[in-house]
Amino acid sequence: MAPKTGKKRGGRKPKPKPKPKPKTPSSSSPPTSVLPPPPTETKAADVLTGDVLRNVLRRLSLVDLLRAALACHSWRRVASRCLPRAPPLLGYFHHPVKTCLPPPFKQKHQPLQDAVFVPLGSSSPLSSLDFAPGASRYKLYDSLQGLLLLEPTAALRGGILPRFLVLDPATRRRALLRPPPRSTVPDDRLWRPSRFYIGSALLSRAHPSKLCFEVVCFAIDDGHPRAWVASVDEGQCRWRALPRAVDVEVEFEPWCFERRCVHAAGKLYWHICKSGRVLVLDPSTLHFSYMLAPAALSDHFSKYRVGEMPEDGQLCIATVENQMMQLWVRGETRWSDNGWRLEREMNLSKLYDALPGVPRDRRARSASIMLIDMDAGRTGKLFIQMLGYGRYSFDLKTCKLERLAMEDGKEYGDPIFAYSLAWPPAFLAEA
């Protein structure tokens, strides 16, 4: 029987026909294929994140760091963690003076020069006080939290309190404060004949983005200190007078007070010429008191200055009398002197010998050298004046003297105000 010639089940399937190749479109016909989507733009904040961005921002200077913080919200948050805890020192404000003649020549009165700013670096955002044209009629008296306090140069009659000019160089804003009205003190007319105005100071600042601050001025009313406090909120000023500090007696001539105060360790200090004590004002309680200097200094009528230690801000006192630098730190110990301990002592005679023109005679040299101030910028420097030979800064760390001279031949005036920004900056306050 012949076999069947039909297809068996389960046999191989027929091969599929090949698909026709797509025709290449001509130049006149539109393309049929879909183009790939354009690459998405990658933000810098998505690439530099976490520790990478933090390490980059930490290597920037302060000015560049503040500029980088304006890039976006994420950079601002990271930049706020890279900022130093303490406000950075940007430079110094002062009224330049000409070098005076050495003793025994009589010192001539020099007209007050306009205040200038000396930056620490070339990238500083500040330059001058040109935004306040009337500042030429005022003199610098205090610097705190990005603000400057100025008083009129014109002399006032006895018992009259001056007006004040407060400037914010970073934001170029200013506020003119009128004197406290007579209504703040009951029977003010009776007190004015015995009143002697001493000075003023910046007390506090509420917020770095607003012109909200407090100013204190005080006078001696019938032998006792009395303070007035001005609270300023965006141009609105309100004065209040405090009662006389009857527990603090001023039994000496009020003109012995130095008009400029010193901010140190959270309190305000006014030096008293040829005295073994300073007047202290506590900003939290607005209470006046006296603080004794070391007896080793006051017994010899040494000129000393109150300041802060650069490492931890501890209260200290410095002097350079008789060519000896002494640094006293506040602290009760077994060998303390009125609550002070001698932290450091150094003979400066060899450093003075290396300066050109400084007299070799020890008595003449001691008479021409005096300590102006301690650097409020906590750089560990003392500002020293040598009558007729210029002003110098002495570095407590390197033990070097550096001339404080301007490019035009003038020198730094006294006092020298360290200037720092209000901290933290306004746009980082809520980061």
Higher pLDDT, 428 or 172: 172
273 and 301 both lie in a single domain: no
Is residue 194 in some structural domain?
A: yes
Residue 228, pLDDT above cutoff 70: yes
Label the pairing between strands 236-241 and 287-292: unpaired
The pLDDT of residue 308 is above 90: yes
In this prediction, residues 12-31 reach a mean pLDDT of: 54
The pLDDT value recorded for residue 342 is 95
Q: What is the pLDDT of residue 20?
A: 57
Same domain for 420 and 387?
no
In Å, what is the CA distance from 76 to each residue of 16, 60, 89, 208, 267?
65, 14, 21, 17, 33
Give 313 or 357, the one with higher predicted confidence: 313
Tell me whether residue 204 is in a domain: yes
Query: Average pLDDT, stretch 260-287?
Result: 96
- Judge whether 146 and 421 are in contact, CB under 8 Å: yes
pLDDT for 19: 57
- Same domain flag for 226 and 312: no
Give the confidence band of 428 by pLDDT, cuts at 50, 70, 90: low
At residue 13, does pLDDT exceed 70?
A: no
**Pair 166, 273 in one domain:** yes
The pLDDT confidence band at residue 238, using thresholds 50, 70 and 90, is very high
Please report which confidence band the pLDDT of residue 58 belongs to, taking 50, 70 and 90 as the band edges.
Answer: confident
Domain check: are 240 and 305 in the same one? no
Percentage of the chain with pLDDT > 90?
53
Contact 406, 385 (CB under 8 A): no
Mark whether 140 and 199 lie in a shared domain: yes
Report yes or no on 90 lying in a domain.
no
**Are 334 and 427 found together in one domain?**
no
Run of H or E residues at 75: helix 73-82
How confident is the model over 183-204, as pLDDT tens digits?
A: 999 989 889 999 999 999 999 9
Q: Give me the domain span that covers residue 176.
A: 115-291+415-431
Residue 81 scores a pLDDT above 50: yes
Where in 206-333 does DSSP place strands (E)? 212-221, 224-233, 236-241, 262-264, 267-270, 277-282, 287-292, 304-308, 315-319, 324-330
For all residues of the chain together, what is the average pLDDT? 85
Residue 10 counted as domain residue: no
389/431 same-domain check: no
Q: How many domains does the chain have?
A: 3
Is residue 246 within 8 A of residue 280, CB to CB? The reply is no
Q: Is residue 18 part of a domain?
A: no
Same-domain check for residues 158 and 268: yes
Q: Is the pLDDT of residue 32 over 70?
A: no
The alpha carbon dihedral of 268, 331, 316, 296 has a sign of positive
pLDDT at 359 over 70: yes
Residue 202 located in a structural domain: yes
- In this structure, the answer to whether residues 67 and 127 fall within a common structural domain is no
pLDDT above 90 (res 144): yes
Looking at the domain assignment, is residue 9 inside a domain? no
Same domain, 316 and 227: no
Residue 85 or 39, more confident: 85
Tell me which of 382 and 355 has the higher pLDDT.
382
Give the mean pLDDT of 314-320.
Answer: 96
In a domain, residue 28? The reply is no
**pLDDT mean over 6-26:** 53
Q: Are residues 425 and 405 in the same domain?
A: no
CA 321, chain centre distance (Å): 28
Burial class (CB in 10 A: 0-12, 13-18, 19+), 376: buried
Q: Of all residues in the chain, what percent carry a pLDDT higher than 70?
A: 84
